[in-house]
């Protein structure tokens, strides 16, 4: 109870110390125990007496009352007052003054007196120095009374407070002067200065600090970190002119094992079974699972017996243990191959980095005397580092005894073994192989060759794997024996290839010129692999009928082969036209072979010529998986937020600095997710990051990374110094050449071509979503249009719900929600118009409904002022109603490149003649009347004007209320708006009278 009370008292003291100003008293006449003895000028009438104050307490005071004599000059001076280093001094005076109204026989009478001071570094005053005159002293003020007393009335006490400064010397004298004949009594004088007292704040102690020389002064005081704290950001407080601590900046940081207390005045040690591993002002955390801390101030919790941490584990991760052995291990033997299967351990040790390894042992009969396997068996997928619960082992010996050990390990297994623990984390299975197919035969060769025969011989396989039943010899024709007719038919004739079997290690062949041979062995388990092909020919290259064949199981059909070949040759010689057709088919066949060879050679590998395709993050069942796959997590400590530069749909947009390990510090833009977000807002926020993370192009905003493991959630992108393109253009109206504007458009088109090639549809392409850096490079940004744009003032509801930016959206998109790359091309045309008009609002003051109706009926925006004709034609191409007729982004890039290579085509201005002539856009010819109606939001009245024959601006300029009423526009409000627009806007229409001529 005692210590609790003491802590409360200490806390209350520091809180009051920070909030209340302090005063250091230099002079207070109420504490005088004897005569004050203040000096006065020669012939001065000031008198020192003892009297009662307003509380009936005896006080030493001075009074003067020389109102019956003229020409008064009564001076009174205090003793020397040391200012103790203060630069501004406060003076309080309590006094009484008698009213001059009812005093008889008055020679001179005033109800004021004067206050002065004199600065000096030492006590040097005498009866004559400083001189008793106004020039020697500095006047503070003329003190007037608010309350005066008359005969028989109570003495009303006045209180006045003044301050002087800046003081530049060690001390002062105060002086009081009556030169008007006042009847005044000075009852109490108090002199003091203000200071900020010692305090503790932000884990730093601040010493006593005297306030500054001005009321508005802020004197900075640097703090010293408290015990168990180190410098974080330079801690400081500022002492204001009233002696109050204010404007705290920076803070000290508690070292590892210590946390700040509630009032942030000290760093206290972490309690038992708590820890703090980082030098940050974070609270201590309870020890993770299976760990503890027996002492206070722990920086890491020790693992309990039998539990461990891996070298890569951090202090906030729980302690874990090695896994137990795998369960249900079994084998499936197939000749000399074995399929090992098992199930995960019952206890995986609390980790998710479980792997398996396989060890092989060769045993004698009965699975005894086992030693490590020495034969080169094939393990699929591998022997160690397995994450699956299955492994295939091939090419074992037949009729052999094997023992396989499956060991389960995780990241703490080696740590446990190093500590002396022997984890029982393996299971064993015994395997006995049986007969298998043999390996390939060896050394196929020709041992004897004549003019019409060849003797073929070979050696037995190295691994027979049982008893050889026989050998199969396959004879294939050489390429010279394959005719054009064979290739034209797409297959080889059966008579050209032959297969025979023999039980010997040799075979005699007749009736051949040049052939390819392959041999394979067969056991009860089946055929082994073919040998490498060997080419052999007879000595004279002639052909004849075979006279002898050893152990042949099939007949030799050479006569049939020759007959077919001769017939094909006769046909080829006679039918020249047929030969030409066959040659063409042969070429096509070879071409097909090349294509197939290319496809097969690249099968299973990602082709370098294929573009990476955009993947919609919403297709992931777990959105966090998309974030981890497409983005890079950044530690929040690497990020320093410097300035809030805007607000987005999710939260604030800030400018900051990113300092990655071993990298230079860079400027970045930071989007934060506001607190209190909904689950859907979080998914949308992370979804935008998952989209951005898939893009890598110089004209698409680059994602640096995300912060998802701490709060607030952040998206970190490169910083674009010049902000959004629409604002940038408005701030630099007419500040660029046409070539520079075309370069800006080329940047945007290149970025959109990249996105389109990836299969991504932006759906919100507008100048506001294009960012500009310091080098005037433009980059496409804002990939959140899959969300509902709740806060977009340019959005309008569609039939199926949701909001879309009508002014930038293609008609099929806002009518049927058909968003494609072609609808992005429409939006790009609007962006072109924005760029060439320096950020003017598309369709001016028209409502969204008017814009939709106008676009559907064929209205298109006119060319901006001084816009090149070729530019406006490209815009109109982008605004084709049939989306299939709009150019692709690749074509747009090519068109802009031509403009940049040949600037002469930019000289013709669209305003010089009909900008839409020669184009194929629906209703592309825009009359001045339509332009004027569109500019003022009256396009809905276009049919009224046309039916009335009002087709030129000269006619419109003369319209009256009655004329407008006869058009069918009966609303008085609409009539007034039309008349007002005519009076204000008609002179701004160029050549408005030409259409009537």
Task: Quick: pLDDT tens for 611-658.
Answer: 578 888 888 878 888 898 999 999 888 998 888 887 766 678 899 999
Confidence of residue 389 (pLDDT cuts 50, 70, 90): very high
3-state DSSP call for residue 723?
A: coil
Residue with the bigger pLDDT between 50 and 983: it is: 50
Confidence of residue 601 (pLDDT cuts 50, 70, 90): very low
- Say whether 569 counts as a known binding-site residue: no
Question: Do 854 and 749 belong to one domain?
Answer: yes
Of 432, 452, 468, which marks where a domain is finished? 432
Question: Do 974 and 867 belong to one domain?
Answer: no
Which helix (H) or strand (E) element contains residue 690? helix 679-692
CATH number of the domain at 124, please: 2.60.120.260
Closest CA to 354 of 381, 383, 323: 323
Question: Do 800 and 936 belong to one domain?
Answer: no
Asked whether residue 209 is domain-assigned, the answer is yes
Indicate whether 503 pLDDT > 90. Answer: no
Rounded Cα distance between 488 and 483, Å, is 9
* Tokens 């052909």 sit on residue: 543
Asked whether residue 618 is domain-assigned, the answer is no
- Say whether 567 counts as a known binding-site residue: no
pLDDT for the residue 245: 93
Per-residue pLDDT, averaged over 749-763, amounts to 94
Rounded Cα distance between 940 and 931, Å, is 12
Residue with the bigger pLDDT between 546 and 165: it is: 165
- Say whether 651 counts as a known binding-site residue: yes
CATH number of the domain at 987, please: 1.10.150.50
Neighbouring residues of 991: CB distance < 8 A, sequence distance ≥ 6:
928
Indicate whether 550 pLDDT > 70. Answer: no
Asked whether residue 598 is domain-assigned, the answer is no
| Structural tokens at position 191 | 């002199």
pLDDT for the residue 209: 94
Confidence of residue 408 (pLDDT cuts 50, 70, 90): very high
Closest CA to 873 of 890, 861, 856: 861
Question: Do 42 and 170 belong to one domain?
Answer: yes
User: For the chain, how many structural domains are there in total?
Assistant: 7
Question: Do 162 and 285 belong to one domain?
Answer: no
- Say whether 652 counts as a known binding-site residue: yes
| Structural tokens at position 620 | 């992931």
Residue 271 vs residues 252, 301, 328, 449: alpha-carbon distances, Å:
21, 12, 46, 95
What is the maximum alpha-carbon separation in the chain? 174
Closest CA to 409 of 401, 417, 397: 417
* Tokens 């930016």 sit on residue: 805
- Say whether 21 counts as a known binding-site residue: no
Question: Do 796 and 918 belong to one domain?
Answer: yes
pLDDT for the residue 580: 61
764 is catalytic: yes
- Say whether 650 counts as a known binding-site residue: yes
Q: Which of 764, 782, 824, 850 is catalytic?
A: 764
| Structural tokens at position 749 | 């088109």
Range of the domain at 822: 720-925
pLDDT for the residue 893: 94
pLDDT for the residue 753: 95
Rounded Cα distance between 585 and 593, Å, is 12
Which helix (H) or strand (E) element contains residue 19? helix 2-19
Asked whether residue 610 is domain-assigned, the answer is no
Of 319, 343, 364, which marks where a domain is finished? 319
Backbone angles phi, psi at 504, to 5 degrees: -85, 175
Burial of 233 (0-12, 13-18, 19+ CB in 10 A): exposed
Question: Do 190 and 224 belong to one domain?
Answer: no
Indicate whether 301 pLDDT > 70. Answer: yes
- Say whether 880 counts as a known binding-site residue: no
Of 319, 341, 357, which marks where a domain is finished? 319
CATH number of the domain at 372, please: 2.60.40.10
Question: Do 369 and 387 belong to one domain?
Answer: yes
Question: Do 848 and 869 belong to one domain?
Answer: yes
Highest mean pLDDT, choosing among 549-563, 566-580, 626-640: 626-640
Asked whether residue 127 is domain-assigned, the answer is yes
Indicate whether 589 pLDDT > 80. Answer: no
Per-residue pLDDT, averaged over 153-172, amounts to 91
CATH number of the domain at 705, please: 3.30.200.20
| Lowest-confidence segment of 71-85, 351-365, 381-395, 644-658 by average pLDDT | 644-658
b (16+ CB within 10 A) / e for 93-109: bbbbbbbbeebeeeebb
Question: Do 810 and 916 belong to one domain?
Answer: yes
Per-residue pLDDT, averaged over 32-41, amounts to 90
Work out the number of other CB atoms within 10 angstroms of the CB of residue 177.
25
pLDDT for the residue 978: 82
Question: Do 26 and 115 belong to one domain?
Answer: yes
Neighbouring residues of 894: CB distance < 8 A, sequence distance ≥ 6:
none
Confidence of residue 81 (pLDDT cuts 50, 70, 90): very high
pLDDT for the residue 791: 33
pLDDT tens-digit profile of 693-733?
999 999 999 999 999 988 889 999 999 999 999 999 999 99
| Lowest-confidence segment of 810-819, 870-879, 931-940 by average pLDDT | 931-940
Rounded Cα distance between 172 and 26, Å, is 11
Burial of 269 (0-12, 13-18, 19+ CB in 10 A): middle
pLDDT for the residue 780: 96
Please state whether the predicted TM-score (pTM) of the whole model is above 0.75: no
Confidence of residue 565 (pLDDT cuts 50, 70, 90): low
Indicate whether 986 pLDDT > 70. Answer: no
Closest CA to 181 of 69, 77, 98, 43: 69
Indicate whether 115 pLDDT > 70. Answer: yes
Per-residue pLDDT, averaged over 247-261, amounts to 92
| Lowest-confidence segment of 60-74, 538-552, 560-574, 659-673 by average pLDDT | 538-552
Query: Is beta strand 368-372 parallel, antiparallel or unpaired with respect to 355-364?
Result: antiparallel
pLDDT for the residue 584: 64
Asked whether residue 790 is domain-assigned, the answer is yes
b (16+ CB within 10 A) / e for 857-884: eebbbbbbeebbbbbbbbbbbbbbbebe
Confidence of residue 798 (pLDDT cuts 50, 70, 90): very low
Asked whether residue 6 is domain-assigned, the answer is no
**HEC per residue, 829-855:** HHHHHHHHCCCCCCCCCCCHHHHHHHH
| Structural tokens at position 487 | 């290739």
| Lowest-confidence segment of 436-445, 479-488, 605-614 by average pLDDT | 479-488
Backbone angles phi, psi at 489, to 5 degrees: -80, -15
CATH number of the domain at 292, please: 2.10.50.10
The count of C-alpha atoms lying within 13 angstroms of the C-alpha of 106, restricted to the half-sphere facing its C-beta, is: 17
Indicate whether 459 pLDDT > 80. Answer: yes
Which helix (H) or strand (E) element contains residue 657? strand 652-658
- Say whether 772 counts as a known binding-site residue: no
Question: Do 709 and 730 belong to one domain?
Answer: no
Asked whether residue 12 is domain-assigned, the answer is no
DSSP 333-397: EETTEEEEEEE--S--TT-S--EEEEEEEEEETTTEEEEE--S--EEES-SSSB-SSEEEEESPP
pLDDT for the residue 333: 83
The chain-wide mean pLDDT, for the chain, equals 81
């Amino acid at each position: 109870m005692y210590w609790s009370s003491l802590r409360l008292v200490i806390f209350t003291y520091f809180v009051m110390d920070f909030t209340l100003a302090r005063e250091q008293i230099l002079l207070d006449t109420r504490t005088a125990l004897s005569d004050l003895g203040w000096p006065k000028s020669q012939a001065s009438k000031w008198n020192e007496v003892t009297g009662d104050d307003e509380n009936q307490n005896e006080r030493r005071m001075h009074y003067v009352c020389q109102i019956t004599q003229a020409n008064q000059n009564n001076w009174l001076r205090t003793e020397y007052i040391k200012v103790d280093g203060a630069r501004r001094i406060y003076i309080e005076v309590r006094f009484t003054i008698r009213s001059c109204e009812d005093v008889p026989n008055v020679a001179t009478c005033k109800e004021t007196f004067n206050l002065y001071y004199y600065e000096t570094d030492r006590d040097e005053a005498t009866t004559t120095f400083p001189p008793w005159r106004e020039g020697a002293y500095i006047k503070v003020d003329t003190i007037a009374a608010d309350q005066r007393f008359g005969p028989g009335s109570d003495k009303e006490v006045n209180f006045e407070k003044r301050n002087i400064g800046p003081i530049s010397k060690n001390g002062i004298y105060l002086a009081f002067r009556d030169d008007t004949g006042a009847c005044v009594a000075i009852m109490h004088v108090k002199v003091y200065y203000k200071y900020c007292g010692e305090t503790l704040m932000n884990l730093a102690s601040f010493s006593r600090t005297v306030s500054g020389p001005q009321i508005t002064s802020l004197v900075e005081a640097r703090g010293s970190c408290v015990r168990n704290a180190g410098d974080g950001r330079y801690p400081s407080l500022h002492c204001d002119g009233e002696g109050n601590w204010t404007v705290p900046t920076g803070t000290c940081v508690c070292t590892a094992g210590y946390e700040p207390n509630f009032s942030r005045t000290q760093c206290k040690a972490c309690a038992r079974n708590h820890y703090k591993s980082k030098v940050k002002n974070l609270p201590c955390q309870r020890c993770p699972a299976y760990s503890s801390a027996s002492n206070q101030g722990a920086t890491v919790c020790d693992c309990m017996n039998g539990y461990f941490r891996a070298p890569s584990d951090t202090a906030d991760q729980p302690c874990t243990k090695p896994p137990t052995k795998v369960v249900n291990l079994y084998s499936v033997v197939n000749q000399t191959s074995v399929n090992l299967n098992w199930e995960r351990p019952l206890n995986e040790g609390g980790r998710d980095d479980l792997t398996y390894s396989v060890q092989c042992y060769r045993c004698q009969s009965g699975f005894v005397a086992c030693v490590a396997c020495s034969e080169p068996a094939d393990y699929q997928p591998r022997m160690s580092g397995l994450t699956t619960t299955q492994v295939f082992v091939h090419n074992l010996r037949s009729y052999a005894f094997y023992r396989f050990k499956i060991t389960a390990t995780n990241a703490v297994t080696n740590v446990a073994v190093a500590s002396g623990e022997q984890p029982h984390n393996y299971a064993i299975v015994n395997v006995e192989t049986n007969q298998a197919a043999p390996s390939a035969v060896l050394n196929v060769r020709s041992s004897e060759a004549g003019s019409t025969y060849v003797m073929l011989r070979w050696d037995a396989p190295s691994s027979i794997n049982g008893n050889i039943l026989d050998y199969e010899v396959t004879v294939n024709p050489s390429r010279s024996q394959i005719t054009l007719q064979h290739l034209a038919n797409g297959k080889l004739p059966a008579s050209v290839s032959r297969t025979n079997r023999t039980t010997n290690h040799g075979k005699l062949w007749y009736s051949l010129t040049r052939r390819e041979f392959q041999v394979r062995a067969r056991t009860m388990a089946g055929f082994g692999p073919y040998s490498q092909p060997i080419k052999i020919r007879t000595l004279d290259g002639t052909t004849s009928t075979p006279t002898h064949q050893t152990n042949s199981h099939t007949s030799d059909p050479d006569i049939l082969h020759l007959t077919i070949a001769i017939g094909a040759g006769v046909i080829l010689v006679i039918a020249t036209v047929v030969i030409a057709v066959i040659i063409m088919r042969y070429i096509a066949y070879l071409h097909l072979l090349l294509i197939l060879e290319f496809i097969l050679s690249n099968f299973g590998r990602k082709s370098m010529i294929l573009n990476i395709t955009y993947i919609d993050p919403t297709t992931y069942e777990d959105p966090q998986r998309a974030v981890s796959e497409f983005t890079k997590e950044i530690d929040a400590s690497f990020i320093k937020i410097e300035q809030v530069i805007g607000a987005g749909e999710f939260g604030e947009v800030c400018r900051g600095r990113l300092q990655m390990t071993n990298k230079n510090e860079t400027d970045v833009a930071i989007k934060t997710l506001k607190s209190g977000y909904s689950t859907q807002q979080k998914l949308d926020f992370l979804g935008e990051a998952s989209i951005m993370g898939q893009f890598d192009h110089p004209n698409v905003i680059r994602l640096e990374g995300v912060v998802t493991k701490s709060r607030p959630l952040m998206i970190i992108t490169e910083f674009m110094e010049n902000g959004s393109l629409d604002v940038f253009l408005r701030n630099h109206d007419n500040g660029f050449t046409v070539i520079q504007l075309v370069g800006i458009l080329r940047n945007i088109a290149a970025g959109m071509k990249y996105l389109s090639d990836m299969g991504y549809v932006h759906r919100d392409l507008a100048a506001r979503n294009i960012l500009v850096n310091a080098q005037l490079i433009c980059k496409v940004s804002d990939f959140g249009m899959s969300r509902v744009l709740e806060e977009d003032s340019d959005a309008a509801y569609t039939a199926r719900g949701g909001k879309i930016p009508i002014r930038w959206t293609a008609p099929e998109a806002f009518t049927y929600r058909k968003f494609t790359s072609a609808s992005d091309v429409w939006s790009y045309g609007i962006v072109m118009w924005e760029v060439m008009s320096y950020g003017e609002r598309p369709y001016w003051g028209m409502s969204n409904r008017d814009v939709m109706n106008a676009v559907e009926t064929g209205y298109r925006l006119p060319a901006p002022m001084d816009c090149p004709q070729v530019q406006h034609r490209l815009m109109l191409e982008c605004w084709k109603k049939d989306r299939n007729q709009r150019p692709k982004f690749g074509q747009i890039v090519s068109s802009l490149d031509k403009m940049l290579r040949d600037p002469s085509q930019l000289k013709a201005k669209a305003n010089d003649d009909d900008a839409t002539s020669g184009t194929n856009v629906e209703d592309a010819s825009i009359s001045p009347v339509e332009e004027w109606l569109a500019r003022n939001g009256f396009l809905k009245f276009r049919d009224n004007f046309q039916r009335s024959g009002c087709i030129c601006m000269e006619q419109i300029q003369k319209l009256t209320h009655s004329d407008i009423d006869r058009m069918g526009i009966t609303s008085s409000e609409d009539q007034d708006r039309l008349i007002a627009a005519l009076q204000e806007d008609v002179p701004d229409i160029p050549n408005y009278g030409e259409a009537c001529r």
